[in-house]
Structure 1
Amino acid sequence: MRTLLFLFACLLDTALFAGKPANLPGTPGAPGNYEVKSPDGSLVVHIQAGAQLQWSADQDGQPVILPSAIGLQLQTGETLGANVKITDAKTENVNTDFTPINYKKSTIHDQYAQLTLNCKGDYSIIFRVYNDAVAYRFVTKRNGELIIKNEEANFNFAADDRAFIPIQWDYRRGKIFNSSFENLYREINLSQWPKDSLAFLPLLVDIGANKKVVILESDLDDYPGMYLDLNATRGLIRASDSVRWGLKGVYAPYPLDAALAGINYIPGSRAGYIAKTTGSRNFPWRVIAISRQDKDLLSQDIVQKLAAPPKLSDVSWIKPGQVAWDWWNNWNITHVDFKAGINTETYKYYIDFAAANHLQYIVMDEGWSNDLDLFKVSRNIDLQQIIDYGKQKGIGVILWATWYAINRQMDSVFPHYAAMGVKGFKIDFIDRDDQVAIASTYVIAQKAAAAKLLVDYHGTSKPTGLPRTWPNVIGYEGVKGLENFKWADEDQPRYVVSIPFIRMMAGPMDYTPGAMRNATKATYRPVNNNPMAKGTRCQQLAEYIVFDAPLQMLSDNPTIYMKEQECTDFIASIPTTFDETVPLDGKVGEYLALAHRKGKDWFVGAMTNWDAREITIDCSFLPEGHYVAEVFKDGVNADRDATDYKKETIRIQRGGKLTIRLAPGGGWAAHIRPV
């Protein structure tokens, strides 16, 4: 039925061929239909240019996106994408490789077919078709300024499909478009979309036949982030006799002013448009990624591929690594001769721990300074002494800061603290993704890079390619991380086997794993000062392998890590960037298994939701040879005591198969070395 509906809705006037557009009836300026095929020919995009610009896509003959209108509505009343007059159509086939920086792969293969439609009115639309993704963007070439009243971006589906929907819920000060961007997925049909609710990206839709579609965006420079909602008729669109369920893009209006609300900087009023920008520019890519198997989503690179290339020529000073972090564990170190807290002695202790375990950094979180003035340092902190002590031990110091303070003070703060020896800033409570907020993240990245400072964005929306464009941005939250489970009794194990297939496709994800107090469903309770995590110890270990985070936190306190030295040694052995990524198995929301290579060593992580299960790992990803694996697996009593685990050393070789038993909320982690 899906295919029949799709063919009816997408009926074209002529047969077209891969990468070759047909402009009908063939004269410049006339409306027409165009077709672009992926390099392997399996994914086909159809473009209808006429009274309304529309696109649709099918893969293996199955509808993926039904005809969906796109356009840029200008404040002047003109709409780019309406009454389209094509002046020129150009095709291009690209097949190349590039080297990402601080990523899960050392090489990304970039192959696609591209169609550029140049239109009367000094604008263009570019479509790129990959074997597993489709992207399009508008490009304008006009003088002066453009005011974008709205952007029409639609994603119409053939049926009332099941989806993983990250609904916005925690409005800051009760205002929409202001939130922490931390949310669980509502696993519902599109028809069950909550009334008057918006969803963040990325969002996953199950279109049947084992195919998943993930909606994303990339190269979001000087432009608001996209939310999704059902279309104006709450999903029902009639095109002849076909019925489609449609999602539409929604954007935060341009903020006209803002005021402090605690440490949030919240707009008081917004304009009747979404962006005020230069007339000659590339607009963001609108993207769908498609998988035939869920596991394929674990190695997707589409946001990296579409991001603007690096702005930095020298990246030698940008060092990824692991971080001893203070806030989650509430500075709760013990068995010391000083009062633990936000003071010099405590941070020297964190530095000693980091050095002893070969970590690279510590974070000094909220409390080292005034939240609104970064030059007002706590009287209990001798910052220069801490920085110098860290330098002696080979440990860098990263400082927490509010976005409000950084925006006001970065021109003086960055050079000042860089001169003291600070290595970077963790910038928190952005809590917006309107045009002003997004533009600010680019400016901060640029000015931090000028001072050779790293940036870790928190309280922010998902990444959209900025870590490629400005590689000193090596951390991004935009996820309901471990910190939430200091106070929230929610389904953590199901979430952690969902986000690698969805949120992680957007880019690095500072989830901050590492809890050493592990709980079953029955034993978990929220505790702020000595927090625990749902799921087993081995699930926490596996998260260090599975979750992409060039700047990876050890969230628990040094005292407990030293008591659990066997696990700490394993965590410290795991790199934060890799040379190769191989998805092994998985199903969204249920389980996954993933392998990474760094040099000649391999790291394999597997995790499950609350269902105990047994999975088989095929070791054919290993090169020829013999290997020894250090394995951490759930103990036989992990279903009763989630801290129960067993460490063992096994020998394996290419082509061998490993049977893994995962406890409820369980995990499995291995470091594999050649012998």
Structure 2
Amino acid sequence: MFKFFLAFFLTFSILSTAQTRNDSTLLTSPDKNVHVIIKTGERISYRVVFKNKLILPSGNIALSLSDGSVLGHNSRMKSKKLLSVDKIVTPRYGMADRYHDRYNEVELQFENQFSVTFRAYNNGVAYRFSTRLPGKIKVTNEETTYRLGADTRGWMQKVSGFLNSYEEHYLDAPVSALDSGKIAVLPLLAETKGVKIAFTEADLFDYPGLYLTYSKTEGLKGMHPPVALKDSVGGCCPDFEKLVTQTAPYIAETNGTRKFPWRLMIVAEQDKELLYNNLVYLLAADPKNETNFSWVKPGKVVWDWWFANNLKGVGFTAGMNTETYKHYIDFAVEHNIAYINMDEGWSDQHNLLSVSSTNSQPLDLPYLFQYASQKDVGIILWCVWHTLDRQMKESFDQFEKWGVKGLKVDFMDRDDQYVVNFYERVASEAAKRKMLVNFHGAFKPTGMERTYPNVINREAVLGLEYNKFSKRSTPDHAVDIAFIRMLAGPLDYTAGGMTNANAEDFRISKNRPMTQGTRCQQLAMFALYYSPLQMLSDSPEEYRKDPAILHYITSVPTVWDETVPVAGMMGEYAAVARRKGNVWYVSGITNWASRTLEVQLSFLPDGDYKAMLFTDGKNASRIGDDYVQEIKTLHAGETISVTMAEGGGFAFVLEPKHDSEKEK
């Protein structure tokens, strides 16, 4: 019956991207591979077909308000608007210098002052509610369901509650592992009928974040944190968090006339397609008020926290003092690094106007900002979110006087409506003063970097820092996040650790940390992970020990003109090629299994290339920092065989040979 129903619709979709039959509408992607069948009437539901496979059976959607009305129940449709878009979006910075925004859209308008808009892309489906109601409204619930079977394979980051920082491993298990009230953050990846589907959201403002749980009757089902009425300082790391102590019986109080966040499912037939997808960005709103963000400067950052300011071979006592940070500024100048970061300890965590200092080791911030400015190096300051929230005006005024170039805001660990709005207030205040923002202890990106390009990076990932106090930041996890977390947007994983060990030799050390896996895996992360504000996690002295590594890490770009997925299998290995100008950077990593990967250079324009290759050494599985550097000529279209050790990786730099010869 379903095949007949679909065939009927396909017959009538030749002349239009959306057709109606009674209470049903068919929306088709530009390449005709994705079909969204929308049904209205008693309920609003939709199903998704990809290449004649029913990958998402009918799921219901609705928006419940505090006055008892449910937008989506017994709603009468009064009109329909069709739209086909094929345009180029030019981001301020990104994984490419242009994104192809191509989709078909239908907006279904209903009598009780709301509409639902569906979009069909060649690689995904999105929908959102819009309302045209007077005054303020309270949303008590949003019904979001993805009717997948209990045994559908999923990769999900389970959390114990709405207080979390998206810093968990991805569990490979049936989606029914989320039963009995367990919840997962987004993105969540599933596989059905040989097709990967990733669920996430975009354009999230003035509304809480979306989570997924599992119900036997509804499949994957949306959940939202309620509005926080009261909270108090507490939680981990000397009261850095604010714990919600009282909640409202609704999830948002917001304007009655507005557009709600996009609900997005990304579709991939091959795993490697997940390594490059820009739908979250494309669904986000353009900058507000046509703000000029031409001053936003992506780049590298000298980071102090990973190695705990432990330096050797210097003529001063290292620590949170003027001489140490002057040393970092000088290192940044030597290697064309844009920023240094001053992490925890530069101020009283609960008073950003109180600078830390001792008689023996003074910290002269005005001097450091003046010194950095003279050297054209920016300083980024770390702060606890609720301290910044409480002291926002006076803190930003002081930061502006000093000449702060960016903020690293940490420990939100929530995405209820208040905290989501905090992100926008920080982004707006920082933009007025031409400051970057890097959110840590954060929820996943939802395209905010398009609306506020100064929000240049986001953590929301179990990153390298975990190796300072656990064994959780593994090569297995490093592969997973390339396919799942990176779908949401930029990630601050903080790669670049120079003490590298296998699983047997790895040891936890807070002040002298190690990485799990090989040196080449750390190198690969600089191009594999999209990170416009990229930290150099280790100390200047560790990098200076290896000039070849130092040159690569400081010269690899952080934003790109083109990205091409090269190879990948979820949970096993990942490889991408990225281009800046006419130079290509090809990187790959593997999990704890060694493997040989055939890297096809079919993405290269015709010609010969001078190639600098970093690959795992013969003994890298025992000695993590064992690597081989080669320089050779490669040709467009050829295939290179690369062997990666357990937890290993590779990094190539490919430059057209005639260009490299001109420089000699």
TM-score, normalised to structure 2, is 0.95
Return the alpha-carbon distance in structure 2 between the equivalents of residues 441 and 456 of structure 1.
10
Q: Which residue of 2 is the match for residue 247 of structure 1? A: 220
Q: Is the 8 A contact 1:10 1:67 kept in 2?
A: no
Q: Is the 8 A contact 2:17 2:104 kept in 1?
A: no
RMSD: 1.6
Return the alpha-carbon distance in structure 2 between the equivalents of residues 396 and 636 of structure 1.
40
Return the alpha-carbon distance in structure 1 between the equivalents of residues 179 and 170 of structure 2.
13
Deviations 1:500-556 (A, max 9, x none): 111101000000001101010110121111111111000000000101111000011
Structure 1 residues 44 and 159 mapped into 2: Cα distance closer, same or farther (>3 Å)?
farther
Structure 1 residues 14 and 623 mapped into 2: Cα distance closer, same or farther (>3 Å)?
closer
Q: Which residue of 1 is the match for residue 176 of structure 2? A: 191
Q: Which amino acid aligns with 1:658?
A: I
Q: Which residue of 1 is the match for residue 13 of structure 2? A: 17
The DSSP-based 3-state class of the residue aligned with 1:146 is: strand
Give the drift of 1:159: 6.0
Q: Which residue of 1 is the match for residue 493 of structure 2? A: 511
The DSSP-based 3-state class of the residue aligned with 1:430 is: coil
The DSSP-based 3-state class of the residue aligned with 1:394 is: coil
Give the drift of 1:180: 1.9
Give the drift of 1:565: 2.5
The DSSP-based 3-state class of the residue aligned with 2:415 is: coil
Matches within 5 A, 1:243-322: 246-261=219-234, 262-311=239-288, 312-322=290-300
Return the alpha-carbon distance in structure 1 between the equivalents of residues 9 and 306 of structure 2.
61
TM-score, normalised to structure 1, is 0.94
Matches within 5 A, 1:202-601: 202-209=187-194, 211-231=195-215, 235-236=216-217, 246-261=219-234, 262-311=239-288, 312-379=290-357, 380-490=362-472, 492-601=474-583
Q: Which residue of 1 is the match for residue 78 of structure 2? A: 87
Return the alpha-carbon distance in structure 1 between the equivalents of residues 490 and 5 of structure 2.
38
Q: Which residue of 2 is the match for residue 240 of structure 1? A: none
Farther off after superposition, 611-620 or 531-540: 611-620
Structure 1 residues 640 and 347 mapped into 2: Cα distance closer, same or farther (>3 Å)?
same
The DSSP-based 3-state class of the residue aligned with 1:525 is: coil
Give the drift of 1:36: 0.3
Return the alpha-carbon distance in structure 1 between the equivalents of residues 38 and 184 of structure 2.
27
Return the alpha-carbon distance in structure 2 between the equivalents of residues 594 and 429 of structure 1.
31
Q: Is the 8 A contact 2:150 2:176 kept in 1?
A: no
Q: Which amino acid aligns with 1:206?
A: E
Q: Which amino acid aligns with 1:258?
A: D
Q: Which residue of 2 is the match for residue 109 of structure 1? A: 100
2:135 to 144, 165, 190: 144
Return the alpha-carbon distance in structure 1 between the equivalents of residues 546 and 118 of structure 2.
52
The DSSP-based 3-state class of the residue aligned with 2:388 is: helix
Q: Is the 8 A contact 2:27 2:36 kept in 1?
A: yes
The DSSP-based 3-state class of the residue aligned with 1:278 is: strand
Q: Which amino acid aligns with 1:54?
A: S
Return the alpha-carbon distance in structure 2 between the equivalents of residues 459 and 236 of structure 1.
34
Give the drift of 1:310: 1.9
Q: Is the 8 A contact 2:467 2:473 kept in 1?
A: no
Return the alpha-carbon distance in structure 2 between the equivalents of residues 10 and 199 of structure 1.
33
The DSSP-based 3-state class of the residue aligned with 1:363 is: strand
1:131 to 107, 115, 122: 122
Return the alpha-carbon distance in structure 2 between the equivalents of residues 329 and 195 of structure 1.
42
Farther off after superposition, 347-356 or 251-260: 347-356
Give the aligned length: 647
Give the drift of 1:13: 9.0
Deviations 1:278-303 (A, max 9, x none): 00000000000000111111111100
Give the drift of 1:208: 3.0
The DSSP-based 3-state class of the residue aligned with 1:484 is: helix
Q: Which amino acid aligns with 1:191?
A: S
Return the alpha-carbon distance in structure 2 between the equivalents of residues 83 and 617 of structure 1.
55
Q: Is the 8 A contact 1:21 1:89 kept in 2?
A: no
Return the alpha-carbon distance in structure 2 between the equivalents of residues 252 and 50 of structure 1.
29
Structure 1 residues 105 and 662 mapped into 2: Cα distance closer, same or farther (>3 Å)?
same
1:63 to 11, 35, 54: 54
Give the drift of 1:149: 0.1
Give the drift of 1:156: 1.0
Q: Is the 8 A contact 1:580 1:598 kept in 2?
A: yes
Return the alpha-carbon distance in structure 2 between the equivalents of residues 672 and 76 of structure 1.
62
Deviations 1:571-592 (A, max 9, x none): 1110000000000110111001
Return the alpha-carbon distance in structure 1 between the equivalents of residues 19 and 79 of structure 2.
11
Q: Which amino acid aligns with 1:621?
A: F
1:97 to 88, 97, 100: 88
Farther off after superposition, 153-162 or 435-444: 153-162
Return the alpha-carbon distance in structure 1 between the equivalents of residues 141 and 37 of structure 2.
24
Return the alpha-carbon distance in structure 2 between the equivalents of residues 557 and 9 of structure 1.
63
Farther off after superposition, 544-553 or 490-499: 490-499
The DSSP-based 3-state class of the residue aligned with 1:632 is: strand
Q: Unpaired runs of 5+ in structure 1?
A: 26-31, 170-175, 238-245
Give the drift of 1:412: 2.2
The DSSP-based 3-state class of the residue aligned with 2:370 is: helix
1:636 and 2:618 matched: yes
Q: Is the 8 A contact 1:65 1:158 kept in 2?
A: no
Q: Which amino acid aligns with 1:189?
A: P
Return the alpha-carbon distance in structure 2 between the equivalents of residues 594 and 11 of structure 1.
38
Q: Unpaired runs of 5+ in structure 2?
A: 658-664
Q: Is the 8 A contact 1:98 1:107 kept in 2?
A: yes
Deviations 1:583-634 (A, max 9, x none): 0110111001100000011101011001111111111211122110111100
Return the alpha-carbon distance in structure 2 between the equivalents of residues 491 and 439 of structure 1.
31
The DSSP-based 3-state class of the residue aligned with 1:199 is: strand
Give the drift of 1:102: 1.8
Q: Is the 8 A contact 1:63 1:158 kept in 2?
A: no
The DSSP-based 3-state class of the residue aligned with 2:355 is: coil
Percent of paired sites with the same residue? 40
The DSSP-based 3-state class of the residue aligned with 1:512 is: coil
Q: Is the 8 A contact 1:10 1:56 kept in 2?
A: no
Give the drift of 1:16: 4.2
Q: Is the 8 A contact 2:158 2:171 kept in 1?
A: yes
Structure 1 residues 485 and 14 mapped into 2: Cα distance closer, same or farther (>3 Å)?
closer
Structure 1 residues 259 and 8 mapped into 2: Cα distance closer, same or farther (>3 Å)?
farther
The DSSP-based 3-state class of the residue aligned with 1:497 is: helix
Give the drift of 1:394: 2.1
Q: Which amino acid aligns with 2:136?
A: E
Give the drift of 1:191: 2.8
Structure 1 residues 120 and 583 mapped into 2: Cα distance closer, same or farther (>3 Å)?
same
2:166 to 181, 189, 208: 181
Q: Which amino acid aligns with 1:221?
A: F
